[in-house]
Amino acid sequence: MRGFTVLLQKEFREAWRSWKFLWIPLVFALLGMTDPLTNYYMMDILNAVGNLPEGFEMLMPELMPADLLYASIGQFQTIGLLVFMATFVGAVSKERASGMATLLYVRPISFGAYFMSKFVVMSTIGFVSILAGFAASVYYTVILFGTFEIGPLVASFITYFSWLLFVIAVTLMMSATFKTVVATTCAFAVIFIGQILDTLVGAFWTISPWKLPLYGVQLIRGTMEMPDYWWSLSLTLVITIICVSLGILTMKKNASTTKI
Amino acid sequence: MMEELAKVPWAVIAPLIVVQIILMIVALVDLRKIHATNGPKILWVFLIIFTNIVGTIAYFIVGRKQ
What ipTM, to 2 d.p.? Answer: 0.88
Q: Say which of A26, A98, A144 has its CB closest to residue B19.
A: A26
- Candidates B53, B57, B59: best to mutate against A (most CBs of A within 10 A) is B57
Residue A237: exposure state from Cβ atoms within 10 A (0-12, 13-18, ≥19): middle
At residue A76, the 3 state secondary structure works out as helix
Q: How many CB atoms lie within 10 A of CB B41?
A: 12
Tens-of-pLDDT digits for all 260 residues of chain A?
Answer: 668 899 999 999 999 988 899 999 999 999 999 999 998 888 888 878 767 777 777 777 788 889 999 999 999 999 999 999 999 998 889 888 888 888 888 888 888 999 999 999 999 999 999 999 999 999 999 988 888 889 999 999 999 999 999 999 999 999 999 999 999 999 999 999 999 999 999 888 889 999 999 999 999 998 888 889 999 999 999 999 999 999 999 999 988 888 87
Cβ contacts of A144 on chain B, cutoff 8 Å: 12
Cβ contacts of A33 on chain B, cutoff 8 Å: 15-16, 19
Closest residue of B to A20, CA-based? B60
- Domain residue ranges in chain A: 4-34+62-254
The greatest distance separating any two alpha carbons of chain B, rounded to the nearest whole angstrom, comes to: 49
Rounded CA-CA distance A74/B39 in Å is 33
Rounded CA-CA distance A215/A173 in Å is 25
